[in-house]
Amino acid sequence: MTQRPGFPVKLPSAGAARTVRSSTPATGVVKPAVVPAYLASARRPVPLTGLGLDSGAVRARMVTKLAEQGLKDPLVLQAMDAVERHRFVETALAGQAYEDTSLPIGLGQTISKPNVVARMIELMREGVSGKLGRILEIGTGCGYQAAVLSHVATEVYSIERLRGLHEKARENLRPLRLHNVHLIFGDGMLGYAQGAPYSAIISAAGGENVPQAWIDQLAMGGRLVAPTHTSSGQQALVVIDKTPQGLQQTLLEAVNFVPLKSGIA
């Protein structure tokens, strides 16, 4: 199998063959992954002033739990370890920042569970060695996932339809100086054609169907990971690979995301 597109993304010439690994549905109990060596090494505590937390140690425990739950991509685990999740939630909720739970971020939206963030990014990176190329995130929210994505991709375009959250993400990300992250205020259902094609697309909101604009903006050989509604009316993760033979779709485990909406507000 040839590697999925890196950066810059280049579409194959007409007639060029390319194989893409389909995602395998999660089944049963996942064997614990081996914790990367960097987690086993001694870490110097990083005090979190005024919150009573040792951010570095608490975050390391969170990442160790992710590995025990079956997450195994070293680059994803390192990214989860590098980004301080407590910086993206309200001060009153900072004590819960490294628990495997979603938390409110305002305007009826939430920051996803660490396990869900890591799981979706790992699915997006499946079959890729090294960093992804240019990617698109639908639903910036508070900016946390964009910060994690900045460690696993060369360039990140992230679009948010709610101006209040777009501004909050800008404030949260500004101190990090992530020069490969571009925040856009706009309708996520339309994607962001100016940055296309993308080697991967990830969505933090789920609708009845995956918008055609996302498929159009996905590079040949690229992968899309998003929640979508099933025939039973529930949400589940879907992985879509774009191949010369057509779209390959795999439905995975049940999830619970905010609804995908059009327009801006």
Handedness of CA 168, 169, 170, 174 (dihedral sign): positive
Q: Is 112 a catalytic residue?
A: yes
CA distance linking residue 37 with residue 63, whole number of Å: 12
pTM: 0.82
| pLDDT at residue 54, rounded to an integer | 65
- The stretch 192-202 carries a mean pLDDT of 98
CA distance linking residue 4 with residue 10, whole number of Å: 11
Task: Choose, from 23, 55, 112, 203, the residue flagged as catalytic.
Answer: 112
Between strands 53-54 and 47-48, the pairing is antiparallel
Judge: domain 37-259, CATH 3.30.1360.10: no
User: What are the tens digits of pLDDT across the range 21-76?
Assistant: 333 343 333 334 444 554 543 343 344 444 445 689 999 999 999 999 999 999 99
Which contacts (CB < 8 Å, 24+ apart) does range 53-61 have? 53/86, 53/94, 53/95, 55/84, 55/86, 58/98, 59/84, 59/85, 59/98, 61/98
